[in-house]
Amino acid sequence: MHTHSFSNADEVAQAVAQQVQEACKNAIDEHGSFHLILAGGSTPKHCYELLVPMPLYWQKVHIYFGDERCLPSGDTERNDTMAYAALLNHVPIPSSQVYVIPAQMGAEDGAARYCTLLEKAPIADMLLLGIGEDGHTASLFPGNQALDDTCLAVPVFNSPKPPSERVSMGLSILNQARKKIIMVTGANKQPVWQAIKGGESFPVTKIKDATWFLDAAAEGK
């Protein structure tokens, strides 16, 4: 397991922002574009804010979302609302290159629509993920049937984290990303991190060859 440890959440955010900048440059040098899958939740917000002034070639960046909550467009609790407020409204990414999940259509229809989009999308250059206290990642929760759904985008029902209905990228496409970063910050993530280190399996441990970025609070230091 490849981990990087930092004193606090700000340092994690800085380090991951640097990783994104580097991956962006390499991808554009290599194939002329950078395809990035954003994480939801609150952990990545500061990292997104730090990206705003950084000199990325934004016109060549394509943004996807690892998951979305089935809420109306613009709802303050949607993952894309956070990403727009922290990053996407402040950088010159062509709006046609931001692929939001139409989760407002409901889990089934939203997943079907995103599936169609992802079928035409290239393999992502980078995936950012967070983890929940129960070891979920994106909207793939322990014991949820979405974990076994092999589609590119999957409907999620009965999510223990509100709202109960979501759309998530499936494990297959998450694992296809060239570089995978998982951010873990805060004392509330210490128990699940200890369990992961102890070898317990969770949805997040099904993400293979990820690099983990942790702060001291999550590591219990």
Q: Establish if 82 lies at the interface with ligand 6PG (CB under 6 A).
A: no
Please work out the total of residues on this chain that contact ligand 6PG, with binding judged by CB under 6 A.
16
CA–chain centroid gap for 166, Å, is 14
| Structure-token pair, residue 54 | 């950084």
Single residue of 6, 41, 146, 173 touching ligand 6PG by CB under 6 A = 41
Q: Quick one: which of 12, 103, 125, 132 contacts ligand 6PG (CB under 6 A)?
A: 132
Nearest residue (beta carbon) to ligand 6PG: 41
CA distances for 28 relative to 15, 100, 191, angstroms: 20, 22, 39
| Binds ligand 6PG by CB under 6 A, chosen from 42, 145, 164, 194 | 42
Interacting span for ligand 6PG (CB under 6 A) from 35-43, 52-60, 94-102, 172-180: 35-43
Scanning 40-48, 51-59, 106-114, 142-150 for contacts with ligand 6PG by CB under 6 A, the matching segment is 40-48
Round to whole Å and give the CA distance between 198 and 195.
5
Given CA atoms 42, 47, 48, 53 in this order, what sign does their dihedral have?
positive
Q: Which two tokens stand for residue 111?
A: 């997943």
The dihedrals phi and psi of 181, each to the nearest 5 degrees, come to -120, 130
List interacting residues with ligand 6PG (CB under 6 A). 39-43, 67, 69, 79, 130-132, 136-139, 161
